[in-house]
Structures are given as C-alpha cells and as structure tokens.
Amino acid sequence: MTLVPQTESVVATARGSGRAVPGPREVALRVDVLSAYYGSTRAVADVSLAIEREAVTAIIGPSGCGKSTILRCLNRMHETTPGARVTGRVLLGDLDVYAPTADPVQVRSMVGMVFQKPNPFPMMSIYENVIAGPRLRGWRLSRIEQDDLVERNLRRAALWDEVKDKLRRSGAALSGGQQQRLCIARALATDPAVLLMDEPCSALDPIATYKIEELIRELSHDVTIIIVTHNMQQASRVSTKTAFMLAGDDGTGRLVEFGDTERLFTLPTDPRTEAYITGRFG
Amino acid sequence: MSAAVTGAVPSPFAAARHRVSARRRAVERIVTTLLLVATVLSVALLVTILGYVIQRGLPALDLDFFTQRPKPFGEAGGGVGPALVGTLLLAAVSGAIAIPVGIAAAIFVVEYHSGRFAATVRFAAELIAGLPSIVVGVFVWAFLVRSVIGHYAGLAGAIALAIIMVPIVARTVEEVLRLVPHSLREAALALGAPRWRVVLRVVLPTARAGVVTAAVLALARSAGETAPLLLTTLGNQFFSTDLLQPMAALPLQIYQYAVAPYDDWHTKAWGTSLVLVIVIGLVALALRLAMRDRVR
C-alpha cells in the first residue's frame, strides 16, 4: 500500500468507479499496433494501449526502451526528427491522428506536451509565454481574454501566486520548478484534451518534483495525462494505469505489461515487470 | 603540499606528481600570457587606427563639413554633405534588399534543410562571399549601368552593395540560428504552431541579437566599399537623392580627396574617413538600441 500513497484525488476523479471497483472508463486515446522508426532502425514495435480519459497513465521502463518515442508519436512530434516515421494507428476520440488528411498542427492543438527540461521561451515574458500557444496559432484574443487566459492557466499550473507581480519579467528568470510549471501553464493555455509529459521532473529537485506531482493529480480532473518517467515511485504516486516497456535484444522497445498501477506494482503478471520493479535491472 | 594532503607517509608518487603540477602551472601561465598579448595587440591596433583617424580628421570637421557640398580646390570650406546623404541612402536601399534576402536564405538552410539543395545554397553563398568586390562592381556595371539603366546610378551601386552583403548576412544569421536551442522549436511545434510561425515568432526573436550583429556587420562592410561604387554610382558633387542618377558616397569622396595633390584635400580625406567611421558607429548603435530585448 505504501507504493500508492495519496490516491484520494485520483480516485475522486474516477467518476464513481474508484480503484476498489475497477469499471470501464471512457477511452481518450487509443494506440493500435504502433511502430516507430528512426531511418531504418525500429525504435518501438507493435505497441497497443487504451488511454483512459481524465486519468493519469504512466509509461515506465529503462533508458532506451522507447517510452519517450511512443509519447512523441501521440502528438506527431516524432516525425519532426529527420528520417523518423510511424506505422500503426493512433485514435484521439474519432480523430485518426495518422490519417493522410490529419493535420499535425491540429493534432498538436488537441494534445499538449511538457518536456524533460523546462523550456520557456527566453525572449518572452511570463505573460507572453502563457499565451504563446494561442498566439502561435494565430488566435485573435482581446486584451481581457488574454489577461483572463493567462491568470486562469497560471492558477491551473499553481504558479499564479508566485508570479502575479512579475508577469512582465522573463520566464527564464524563474527557478527550474517554476519554469516547468510555466511550461505546463503554456501547454494548458490551448486547452488540450490530452497532456503528454516527458519525464517532467527529471531536471528538478525533490520539492519542485513534489509540487509538479501534486499538480498532475489536480489536473487529471479535467485533462487526460500521459507521463513518461524512469522513476517508478513517481509512477506509483501519480498514475492510475501504468505501461511497462522494455527494449529487446534487437534494441526495439516493446510493451511488456499494461494495467492498473496498483496491480502492476504489487502483482505483476510478467516476470520481466517484476524484475524491473524490484530493482533487479534498469 | 601533496604530502600534507596524503598524510605523514610520503607517497612514492608524490614527487612525480609535484613535478607534473609545476609543469602544468608553467604551461598554464605561458598560454595565459600569449592570450593576453594577442588581446592587447588587437585592441591596440583598433585604438591606434581610430586614434590616428581622429587625430588627422578632426581638424577638418565642423558643421559645414557635414552640410556643405564639396568646393573646387582653392575655395575655402566645403564639405561632404552629398556623400553623407548618398552613403546613408545606399546603405538603406542595399540593406533593405540584402538583409531580408540573407535572413531568408539562412532560414531556408537551417530550418528547411532539405538536403542537397540547402547545401547548394550554402555553397553559392560561400562563392559569392569569396568574390572580390570589384568583380561584383564590374558585373553590375556590365548588366545595369551599360544595359538596363544605361548610365551610372545610385541604384546600381545599391544593388552591387546588396550582392556583397547577402552572403555576409546569410552566413552570420545561419550561425546564430543554429545556436537557438532545438528545445524551443520543439516547444513551439508542440503548441500547435505551423513551422513558419515557429521561425518568425520563436527562432528569429531568440536569435535577435545575432541577427542584428549580422546586419551591422554587413552594413559596415558595405558602407566602406569603394571599388564597386566607382563602377556603378560614379560619385556626384551635388546633393542628389535620385537613385537613377549618379550619387555621391563617403568612400568615393575619401578616394577623390586622397588622390588629389593638395594638403587641404588630404586633411579633408581624413575628415571624411572620420565621418564614415562615425556613421557606421552610429548606425550600429541605433540598430542595437532599436532591437534590444524588451524582456529582462
């Protein structure tokens, strides 16, 4: 039980079907036999996942197992690497993300992303960083709408009280943890249905990490969150579902096990999962 | 020192280690000294040139020197007004052509690197950068002065200068665009920005200081070009802002004053040189102030 502390808020979001009584929940994102390539190298093979709506799904695994690659396939960021390509399907609601008619720009507007290293735009103020998404998409917003958007999303990212008096200052002047929360506010400002987080705490100290984890639980009330982490404690603390990935001898990452976090960490069905979570490798 | 660290028992390696660190310190000192000498030399060179130009040119400077047109030899006074206007106009026109083209070429090469074609563009920029400016002048003379326009004209000079500036801008901007962290492009793309907006709203603003440097470098270099202007704008003793007529320019004025056999004109040549240095300095300063970061 100590593996899964502070699950109250997560259970509360499960629409009456808490962990004790696992029931079918709406699927926000469906991944169907997805494979990702860098040139002729297959980085990830045949991953299928059903991501629950308004819950936190963690993807864990040792370095090089393709967990970040999978994440980048979900908002079509994978293909921004030269030579990278994807086979298989990703369904976001009824939008086929890899359909020939799908626009990557539209996909990315529905699926936000937070990166490993905080990356606020250094030449923009805190305020401008938050509205960067709408501005970069060419939305026309009135002054009042902009102010409102900035305050609302800084509050959602639990950063408002710390920065409300210095909105015109550079985002680069904030601490690492604050910068990461600014990046979360920036990703939320376009109102994505899904938020992808690629090891969002790996560059942060424990207190900043704690704040981000609190925030993830808080946000999962209205956003579907997929978090990649190499920190198993973090996965067990914040997620309701966990996917464990592992690279085979051929260097290609595959999904080993996917299920309820509590079950996966206490009663793994695959011996490789057990070996990993008990610290025998990785 | 190392004996104190390792304790009472002297390590058999302590002596050797001590020798190595003494050697390392000596090398360190020599390298530092060499770097210092090089720095002092380059700064001294700049100060000497500037100081000499100021010393020789200052006596020629007064208000009239900036506002009057050149007088024939023998008449007192006269200035470089037309040349000042001409140089500023040529810089504005050539900059307006070359800076956007150079930036666009750099963006293409860095952001839309589509393999072979981008490499070709870079190679072409390198070749143009290597062209002697007089060759550019001859080329523009043959095509514009001799045929299209039909006579010497400021516009021909501006185009010659633009041809010289484009590769300077392109190469410098290319370097600074490559310095923009990839993570910022990713962040912007992940926010759902189309690629062109990523470049215009994120990459270029982040690289702004470097882009301004590129523009200043190119303007400074072209403002001092003489050879291509001799073949294109020719020079003019009168005030003219008509780009389709011969136009005065500071380097041409320096040349004209310098080759004359009169002491008074030699002083004026130094004065004109000083004016050119001041103009370049002021343009650089103005660009920097206008484009400095708003957010701090």
Token match 């006596």: residue? B59
Find residue A225's DSSP bridge partners.
A56, A195
Q: What is the pLDDT of residue B122?
A: 85
Alpha-carbon gap, residue A5 to A237, rounded angstroms: 6
Does A155 map to a domain? no
pLDDT, one tens digit per residue, over B256-281 is 999 999 988 999 999 999 999 999 99
Residue of B nearest to A75 (CA): B190
Domain positions in chain B are: 12-60, 65-290
Number of domains in chain A: 1
Chain B environment of A135 (Cβ under 8 Å): 201
Q: What is the pLDDT of residue A182?
A: 96
Which residues are within 8 A (CB) of A248 and not within 5 positions of it... i.e. 6 or more apart?
A254
Chain A environment of B293 (Cβ under 8 Å): 123
pLDDT, one tens digit per residue, over B167-224 is 999 999 999 999 999 999 999 999 999 989 999 999 999 999 999 999 999 999 999 9
Residues from A in contact with B at Cβ < 8 Å: 75, 77, 80, 82, 105-106, 108-109, 112-113, 115, 117, 119, 121-125, 128, 132-133, 135-138, 168-170, 183, 186-187, 190
Length of chain A: 282
Q: Do B190 and A136 touch (CB under 8 A)?
A: no
Please report how the helices B182-190 and A176-188 are oriented relative to each other, as an axis angle in degrees rounded to 10. Answer: 30
Homologous superfamily (CATH) for B65-290: MetI-like (1.10.3720.10)
Nearest-CA distance from B82 to chain A in Å? 41
Q: What is the pLDDT of residue A2?
A: 42
> Quick check: pTM over 0.80?
yes
Nearest CB partner across the interface for A190, out of B192, B206, B208: B192
Alpha-carbon gap, residue A211 to B96, rounded angstroms: 50
CATH for A237:
3.40.50.300
Nearest-CA distance from B59 to chain A in Å? 45
The secondary structure of B56-92 as a DSSP string is HHGGG-SHHHHHSPPPPTTSS----HHHHHHHHHHHH
Report ipTM for this prediction.
Answer: 0.85
Q: Do A135 and B190 touch (CB under 8 A)?
A: no
pLDDT below 70 — which residues of chain A? Answer: 1-24, 282
Q: What is the pLDDT of residue B8?
A: 57
- Pick the closest to residue B63 from B46, B51, B48, B81 (CA basis): B81
Alpha-carbon gap, residue B225 to A39, rounded angstroms: 48
Does A163 map to a domain? no
Does A189 map to a domain? no
Chain A environment of B181 (Cβ under 8 Å): 119
**Domain boundaries, position A251:** 8-13+26-117+194-277
Q: What is the pLDDT of residue B296?
A: 54
Q: Do B183 and A119 touch (CB under 8 A)?
A: yes
Q: Do A136 and B188 touch (CB under 8 A)?
A: yes
Does A228 map to a domain? yes
pLDDT, one tens digit per residue, over B29-51 is 999 999 999 999 999 999 999 99
**Which of A77, A80, A119, A128 has the most B C-beta neighbours within 10 Å, making it the best mutation to test the interface with B?**
A119
